[in-house]
């Protein structure tokens, strides 16, 4: 007879944390959100830790190189989407690794022949007011001048005027060699009261621009995820088909961690993929696996050698797997059961395998719940898709700005590899994801800052200064449907008259 789980399958919304004793030490500024990304032996340190417990989903609408840089700046990590060619994915990884914080490859470049009209149009499009002028109009052409807002006055000049006639010419610019350090560049900027400094390579070509404002922001990012060469860290998604080609290309590009991207991870295909990686790279290449929703699935992937394990089937905001196929499990129940299995595995083997709760995070407090239930970090799609830094289009819908967000199992992404059963001939013919809009929410930095301030505040209420302490001390209670109503604003007439729905972000 079939196995029946007696417990109902619950979601995050069905739980609350019951506060514990908080001492005067339990203040948000004392909380550390550092958390392991990869497995480690008792008493040892993980090879990679995240500085904040957030990674961005392996999705076309979420994780490209721009998102990866923005999230690494805040202390998390992106996993670049694998539903693209191997060359394109490797190029994204390589761009993240080549990115030097504070050293900007200009995306707004002019030629001396361009007109003031074109300058104004480019400034509007990119939002950048400082534009290098190069002989060929590329980011690495020969520098011939710079145009800033101070070089032109729209009220006094014709839009036909040529850049060559109003730019600040190279002879009047202060420049520095390409191997100048950020500290040295900043000193030159300060000593000469500059707003920007072009760095020139040995062929007399423009290498980077350094901006005064970027140096300041670089200094105010204490959580940056940097490798031993001070490059941003980045992950990448792989599949169980072309790993023999994809993995070497991503490793060559400098990837820090891989993750097998699949809606169903309890499969021989994942074990074969992990084995291939271990056979070829030993433990030097880190790789997460998933997704699973119960203890059996966890144990299978742990024994197969995964460095971390992802939890979640069917809970993603754009996911219709449960409707289409009838498989899945409430995200809270899945997380709790898998975390118990992980703790038992740790007791038995002395190896701690970090867990990632993936999908279904709607409120900021769901992150805290996922951590309290035993996750070490969470993977978010919808959350990050809403920000400036996501690769998807920002569009106006019914008078509000939205960002497009589509599932990897939607017809739009056509990443059937995530949704097939592995092997070559078992492709699925139906969709498991939808194409949607999510409300545009501004910059990643502002939103992540606010979200984590809530997480830290709740951790203090639970008497915890670290995620491990939260997992240990948290007291969770299942809520009734009437108490959910009690939890929001109720029985009052709200002044702004907008009916209270939820404060989901």
What gap in Å lies between CA 482 and CA 498, rounded to an integer? Answer: 22
Label each residue of 342-388 as H, E or C.
Answer: HHHHHHHHCEECCEEEECCCCCHHHHHHHHHCCCCEEEECHHHHCEC
Nearer to ligand RVP, 5 or 430 (CB): 430
Sole binder of ligand RVP in the list 297, 316, 374, 391 (CB under 6 A): 316
Q: What is the DSSP secondary structure assignment for residue 149, as one 8-state letter?
A: G
Count of beta carbons in the 10 Å neighbourhood of residue 303: 12
Nearest approach in angstroms of CB 253 to ligand RVP is 22
Nearer to ligand RVP, 256 or 408 (CB): 408
Report yes or no: 81 and 244 within 8 Å, Cβ to Cβ: no
Sole binder of ligand RVP in the list 57, 93, 133, 338 (CB under 6 A): 57
Would you say 314 is a known binding-site residue? yes
Nearer to ligand RVP, 186 or 447 (CB): 447
State the DSSP H helix or E strand holding residue 139, giving kind and residue range, or none if neither: none
Nearest approach in angstroms of CB 325 to ligand RVP is 10
Count of beta carbons in the 10 Å neighbourhood of residue 11: 17
Q: Is 59 in the site for ligand RVP (CB under 6 A)?
A: yes
Q: Which of 195, 233, 198 is nearest to 214 (CA)?
A: 195
Would you say 433 is a known binding-site residue? no
- Measured over the CA atoms of residue 105, residue 232, residue 335 and residue 22, the dihedral's sign is negative
Nearer to ligand RVP, 26 or 335 (CB): 335
Per DSSP (E only), the strands in 28-87 are 35-36, 40-41, 49-50, 54-56, 77-80
Would you say 261 is a known binding-site residue? yes
Q: Is 382 in the site for ligand RVP (CB under 6 A)?
A: yes
Would you say 263 is a known binding-site residue? yes
Pattern 479-498, binding to ligand RVP, x per CB under 6 A? --------------------
Nearest approach in angstroms of CB 261 to ligand RVP is 8
Would you say 487 is a known binding-site residue? no
Using Cβ positions, the residue closest to ligand RVP within the complex turns out to be 433
Active site residue 418: yes
Q: Is 359 in the site for ligand RVP (CB under 6 A)?
A: yes
What gap in Å lies between CA 93 and CA 253, rounded to an integer? Answer: 6
Would you say 313 is a known binding-site residue? yes
Whole-number Cα distances in Å, 188 to 132, 185, 212, 304, 482: 18, 5, 10, 54, 63
Q: Is 432 in the site for ligand RVP (CB under 6 A)?
A: yes
What gap in Å lies between CA 407 and CA 416, rounded to an integer? Answer: 11
Report yes or no: 342 and 361 within 8 Å, Cβ to Cβ: no
> Which position among 10, 95, 299, 319 bears the catalytic label?
319
Nearer to ligand RVP, 119 or 361 (CB): 361
Burial 384-416 (b: 16+ CB within 10 A, else e): bbbbbbbbbeeeeeeeeebbbbbbbbbebbebb
Q: Is 237 in the site for ligand RVP (CB under 6 A)?
A: no
Q: Is 97 in the site for ligand RVP (CB under 6 A)?
A: no
Q: Which of residues 170-189 bind ligand RVP (CB under 6 A)?
A: none
Nearest approach in angstroms of CB 62 to ligand RVP is 8
Count of beta carbons in the 10 Å neighbourhood of residue 87: 10
Nearest approach in angstroms of CB 12 to ligand RVP is 11
Size of the site for ligand RVP (CB under 6 A): 23
Per DSSP (E only), the strands in 293-399 are 308-311, 351-352, 355-358, 377-380, 394-397
Would you say 80 is a known binding-site residue? no
Q: Is 56 in the site for ligand RVP (CB under 6 A)?
A: no
What gap in Å lies between CA 384 and CA 379, rounded to an integer? Answer: 10
Report yes or no: 445 and 70 within 8 Å, Cβ to Cβ: yes
Nearest approach in angstroms of CB 377 to ligand RVP is 12
Would you say 204 is a known binding-site residue? no
From 83-91, 114-122, 200-208, 315-323, give the range in contact with ligand RVP by CB under 6 A.
315-323
Q: Enumerate the active-site residues.
A: 319, 418
Residue numbers belonging to the annotated binding site: 261-263, 312-314, 316, 319
Residue numbers belonging to the annotated binding site for K(+): 314, 316, 319
Q: Interface with ligand RVP by CB under 6 A: which residues? A: 57, 59, 312, 316-319, 321, 358-361, 379-383, 407-410, 432-433
């Amino acid at each position: 007879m079939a196995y029946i789980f007696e417990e109902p399958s619950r979601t995050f919304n069905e739980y609350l944390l019951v506060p514990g004793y908080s001492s005067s030490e339990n203040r948000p500024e004392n909380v550390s959100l550092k958390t392991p990304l990869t497995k480690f032996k008792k008493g040892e340190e993980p090879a990679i830790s995240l500085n904040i417990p957030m990674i961005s989903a392996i999705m076309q609408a979420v994780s490209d190189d721009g998102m990866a840089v923005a999230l690494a700046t805040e202390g998390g990590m992106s996993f670049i989407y694998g539903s693209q060619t191997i060359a394109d994915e490797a190029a994204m990884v390589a761009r993240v690794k080549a990115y030097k914080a504070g050293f900007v490859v200009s995306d707004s470049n002019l030629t001396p022949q361009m007109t003031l009209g074109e300058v104004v149009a480019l400034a509007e499009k990119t939002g950048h007011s400082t534009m290098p002028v190069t002989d060929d109009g590329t980011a690495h052409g020969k520098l011939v001048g710079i145009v800033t807002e101070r070089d032109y006055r729209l009220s006094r000049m014709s839009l036909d005027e040529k850049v060559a006639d109003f730019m600040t010419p190279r002879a009047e610019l202060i420049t520095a060699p390409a191997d100048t350090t950020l500290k040295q560049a900043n000193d030159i900027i300060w000593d000469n009261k500059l707003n920007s400094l072009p760095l020139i390579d040995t062929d007399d070509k423009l290498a980077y621009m350094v901006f005064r404002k970027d140096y300041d922001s670089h200094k105010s990012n204490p959580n940056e995820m940097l490798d031993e060469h001070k490059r941003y860290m980045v992950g990448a998604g792989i599949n169980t088909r072309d790993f023999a080609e994809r993995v070497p290309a991503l490793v060559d590009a400098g990837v820090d961690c891989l993750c097998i991207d699949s809606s169903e991870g309890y499969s021989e295909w994942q074990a074969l993929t992990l084995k291939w990686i271990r056979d070829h790279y030993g433990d030097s290449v880190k790789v997460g696996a998933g997704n699973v929703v119960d203890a059996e699935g966890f144990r299978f992937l742990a024994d197969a050698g995964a460095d971390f394990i992802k939890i979640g089937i069917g809970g993603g905001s754009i996911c219709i797997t449960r409707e289409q196929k009838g498989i899945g499990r409430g995200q809270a129940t899945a997380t709790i059961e898998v975390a118990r299995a992980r703790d038992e595995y740790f007791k038995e083997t002395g190896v701690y395998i970090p867990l990632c709760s993936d999908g279904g995070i709607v409120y900021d407090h769901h992150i805290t719940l996922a951590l309290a239930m035993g996750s070490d970090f969470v993977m978010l799609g919808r959350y990050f898709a809403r920000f400036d830094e996501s690769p998807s289009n920002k569009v106006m819908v019914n008078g509000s700005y939205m960002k497009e967000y589509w599932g990897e199992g939607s017809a739009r992404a056509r990443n059937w590899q995530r949704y097939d059963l592995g092997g070559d001939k078992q492709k699925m013919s139906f969709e498991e994801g939808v194409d949607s809009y999510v409300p545009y929410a501004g910059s990643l930095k502002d939103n992540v800052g606010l979200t984590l301030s809530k997480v830290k505040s709740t951790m203090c209420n639970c008497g915890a200064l670290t995620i491990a302490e939260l997992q240990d001390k948290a007291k969770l209670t299942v809520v009734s449907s009437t108490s959910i109503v009690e939890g929001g604003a109720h029985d009052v007439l709200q002044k702004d008259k907008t009916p209270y729905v939820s404060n989901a972000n």
